[in-house]
A and B are shown apart, each in its own frame.
Chain A
Amino acid sequence: MACDLNQNDEQRQILDAATALLEESFPVSRSLGDDQERIDKLAEFGAFALALDDDLGGTGFTLVEEVLLHVRFGRHIVPAGALAAPVAARIAAELGDNDLAREIATGQIAVSAGILAGDRLRTLDDTKAKLALVFDRRRLELVEIANADGETATGLGQGAELTEFPFVATTRIGASNSASILNVADLLVSAQLLGIAEAARDLAVSYAGMRRQFGKPIGAFQAIKHHCANMAISAEMLSAQLDMAAIAQRDSRDDAAFQTAAARLLAPRVALANARLCIQVHGGIGFSAEADAHRFLKQAHLLRQLGGGAAMLDLASPMAPHR
């Protein structure tokens, strides 16, 4: 059995390049605001087209690399628009509009991620994007919001910017409930949540090594050690499952839907748990808005609203007994 759940050199190279870009453009401690310029840089890098067909601007990488890239996005709390774009490009292509797909994939047309709340469309940013990708349970829809009147407000204790549109005021472009696109969306969301879980772990570990109380680094106390160990276990669990799912989806294996659903179910739990522990390990400053710990928590709350909800118990599990 060929089973490689570890990264190869080529994968590492593209990730290193992406990390350098993210470190420059997306510091975790940045204030809320218009991120569009930063997102454009990602588009230039080719981030949204990475795994698309060549004629859509693809660069020959696969979904597996794309997923790993989105883990890095998660670590840097890249806005959800960067997740909406590659999914929206796939939907446009599925609808037969390759020009639109290309424009989205190259960043000429910006896309926001949105969710439905009753008859309102709520995008998870304040960008002036032309389009929004609407996550409506097991259905994705591409709509135009450029001419709809949106109202921007902050949410999550000034930790997020949200824009609300009357859904009827948007122009519908087309919808998809294709399993493969839904799986891609779930994988990218899970990947970003994993990035959050990893970054929260790393931040907690580095603080624990630095902060001293009772004459020692707090990381020398078992209670703190165990919090950190729990973060490491959770992140490793999610990371392994995410790779498994990405490979299954890339290779169109029978268990792709199951593996993806499993990753998507675990991802928000793991990200939220690690973000919470990261706050706890920081003590008072973790509760303040001055440390970064709370940013991971809030981004996890935003991301978990996107997609998910696959009927886990109805999917074929590779380990289920033959009935």
Chain B
Amino acid sequence: MDLTFSPADEAFRLTARKWLADNVPADRAPYEGQASRDFALAWLARCNEGGWAGIAWPEAYGGRGLPPERLVIWYEEYVRSRAPSVLDCTFVALNHAGPTLIACGNEEQKAFHLPRILSGNSVWCQGFSEPGSGSDLASLSTTAVIDGDELVVNGQKIWTSYADIADYQELLVRTEKGSKRHQGLSWVICDMKAPGITVRPIRNMAGVSHFAEVFYDDVRIPLTNVVGALNDGWRVAMTTLGFERKTAAIGLQLELSVRVEDLILLAQAQPGSAMAERLAELRAETAALRAMTYRTLFRQPATTFDGSLVRLRFAELSQAIHQIAMDILGPDGLVDSHWTHDYLEAYSETIAGGTAEIQRNIIAERILGLPRE
């Protein structure tokens, strides 16, 4: 891998920079609801008119078929220009629904949906998680039964971002009766305006609603909306998650670099010594360790397992202190001294006498009463 860009790449960068400078909206995106949808779609439509929407999508589907280098350049310029965050209600369509259709959809599905996505005319959401199936997605139980040339869906999804303002949904349902886990699922395009769908927005801890519960009560979906083969939905869903966890993240990750630059400016306006702060913390932590030690020693009646708490706190604090010593010593840390010696010795603290992992199991099981593994 190398990171040199050709003169043509650099020219591309300048074009992107200029376009962004002329077009990025001055307003901040609204947080939720119809206003957030209008804002995001207007911005996407503008990008599309400028030829910047879906630039890595194949030309046949409205993209420019650009290679990853160009995508990277585009996103670098994008975040530097302080353009609206890529994480808005267009995210699902642009970053995983569209790509999933390109990879697994049939020609009718692509011809209908892809142009609508790029031109800023449809919002997608993702209906995978259910109340009983989050991390364990394969246990999902929303069902779809074939009736003529339609599927009839019943069940519930939850945490569906943008469900309240979406036109379509990547819906993962169980189409084979009695099937278990990854078998018998299908990935279906669900029209969010279909009768029988109820969306109940859920407020999040930031005080806004952009996810929701979605209820399906005899919702009828044409069989032609199945993406990939019937009962092969797990494979399609893994394609979706592959996009969601990989390419979609470029813009988000780059955004973080800009955030850090902003943070440095913020910090420069508020001086203070980080090392002094850290030493003050160590003082406080060692004071607390002493208090813990005494309390455990004098506890009546004596208990069996709370030694694990002190023991582990000690081990990790000891390592932290010696790591800071090495930071302070700098090049002198290379010469053997008691600091260096103790620093190296301290690596045993989280291994000898029961590793940190085992101590944590003991605390969780014996003190907190969590189930055994």
Residues in chain A within 8 A of chain B (CB atoms) = 3-6, 154, 156-159, 205, 208-209, 212-214, 216-222, 224-226, 228-230, 232-233, 236-238, 240-241, 243-244, 258-259, 261-263, 265-266, 269, 279, 283-284, 286-290, 293-294, 297, 312-313, 317, 319
* A/B interface sample: 6 pairs, CB < 8 A: A213-B133, A228-B364, A237-B309, A297-B205, A312-B283, A313-B276
Q: A3-B294, A205-B369, A213-B136 are in contact. Are A232 and B363 (CB under 8 A)?
A: yes
If over half of A's interface residues share one DSSP class (helix, strand or loop), that class is named, otherwise mixed; here it is helix
| A262 proximity list for chain B (CB < 8 A) | 283-284, 287-288
The 8 closest A-B pairs by CB, nearest first: A158-B207, A157-B207, A294-B205, A225-B364, A241-B288, A240-B291, A312-B280, A5-B295
CB interface residues, B 348-373, toward A, < 8 Å: 357, 359-361, 363-365, 367-373
In the bound complex, do residue B363 and residue A233 qualify as a contact, i.e. CB atoms below 8 Å apart? yes
Q: How many residues of B contact A (CB 8 A)?
A: 56
Interchain nearest-CB distance for A77 vs B (Å)? 14
In the bound complex, do residue B285 and residue A237 qualify as a contact, i.e. CB atoms below 8 Å apart? yes
In the bound complex, do residue A236 and residue B292 qualify as a contact, i.e. CB atoms below 8 Å apart? yes
Closest to A157 in B: B207
**Interface-forming stretch among B48-56, B143-151, B183-191, B298-306?**
B298-306
Interchain nearest-CB distance for A6 vs B (Å)? 6
| B159 proximity list for chain A (CB < 8 A) | 284
16 further interface pairs, Cβ-Cβ under 8 Å (given A217-B370, A288-B211): A5-B291, A157-B206, A159-B205, A220-B371, A220-B373, A222-B361, A226-B360, A228-B370, A229-B312, A230-B360, A237-B288, A240-B292, A241-B288, A265-B284, A284-B129, A290-B203
Closest to A247 in B: B291
In the bound complex, do residue B291 and residue A244 qualify as a contact, i.e. CB atoms below 8 Å apart? yes
| A283 proximity list for chain B (CB < 8 A) | 134-135
Interchain nearest-CB distance for B214 vs A (Å)? 14
| B250 proximity list for chain A (CB < 8 A) | none
- A297 vs B207: C-alpha distance in the bound complex, in angstroms? 13
- A217 vs B206: C-alpha distance in the bound complex, in angstroms? 28
- A290 vs B207: C-alpha distance in the bound complex, in angstroms? 10
| A236 proximity list for chain B (CB < 8 A) | 292, 306, 309-310, 313
- A243 vs B291: C-alpha distance in the bound complex, in angstroms? 8
In the bound complex, do residue A226 and residue B371 qualify as a contact, i.e. CB atoms below 8 Å apart? no
- A209 vs B368: C-alpha distance in the bound complex, in angstroms? 10
B202 at the binding interface (Cβ < 8 Å)? yes
- A5 vs B296: C-alpha distance in the bound complex, in angstroms? 9
Interchain nearest-CB distance for A110 vs B (Å)? 27
In the bound complex, do residue B134 and residue A213 qualify as a contact, i.e. CB atoms below 8 Å apart? yes
The residue that B371 contacts in the complex, of A219, A229, A230, with Cβ under 8 A, is: A219
- A3 vs B281: C-alpha distance in the bound complex, in angstroms? 25
| B359 proximity list for chain A (CB < 8 A) | 229
Q: A205-B369, A232-B368, A233-B312 are in contact. Are A317 and B291 (CB under 8 A)?
A: no
Closest to A244 in B: B291
| B372 proximity list for chain A (CB < 8 A) | 220
In the bound complex, do residue B284 and residue A222 qualify as a contact, i.e. CB atoms below 8 Å apart? no
| B257 proximity list for chain A (CB < 8 A) | none
In the bound complex, do residue A208 and residue B309 qualify as a contact, i.e. CB atoms below 8 Å apart? no
B199 at the binding interface (Cβ < 8 Å)? no
| A219 proximity list for chain B (CB < 8 A) | 364, 370-371
Interchain nearest-CB distance for B162 vs A (Å)? 15
